[in-house]
Amino acid sequence: MVYLQASIKLKAGKLEDFVSMLNKLTPVLAKRGMKLLGSYANVVGRLNTVVDLWELPDANALQAALSDPELQKLAPLVSEIIEDETQVLLTKLPIG
């Protein structure tokens, strides 16, 4: 199991549109075994920024999902809403 942290800079005033888009993306990505663990908006720090945390079945899941025709249909929305995105793959540390 791996995790994806996406730090997303939204275009100004697009938070509501982002939430709507994420509600459309989540079921599409779930078909690929990706589970949204949480989506968080900054209260302090860089304006118009959200952080999403996803659980992925493996490190290749994101690349496979990007080729999904349903996801590709949503691509125009992404460019209207998102200014910049940084994605990081994480593994869980063996603590506890």
Q: How far is CA 77 from the centre of its chain?
A: 13
- What is the CA angle 8-75-4, rounded to 5? 40
Per-residue confidence (pLDDT) for residue 71, from 0 to 100: 87
**Pairwise CA distance, residues 69 & 85, whole Å:** 21
Per-residue pLDDT, 91: 95
pLDDT of residue 20: 96
Mean pLDDT by runs of 10 across the 96 residues of the chain is 96 97 94 96 93 96 89 89 97 92
Model pLDDT, residue 47: 92
Instruction: Write down the pTM of the prediction.
Output: 0.91
Return the structure tokens found at 96.
């506890």
Token duo for residue 2:
């791996």
Q: In the 8-state DSSP scheme, what is residue 11?
A: P
Residue type, 96: G
Q: What is the pLDDT of residue 74?
A: 87
Topology (CATH) of 2-90: Alpha-Beta Plaits (3.30.70)
> Which residues are bridge partners to 56 per DSSP?
2
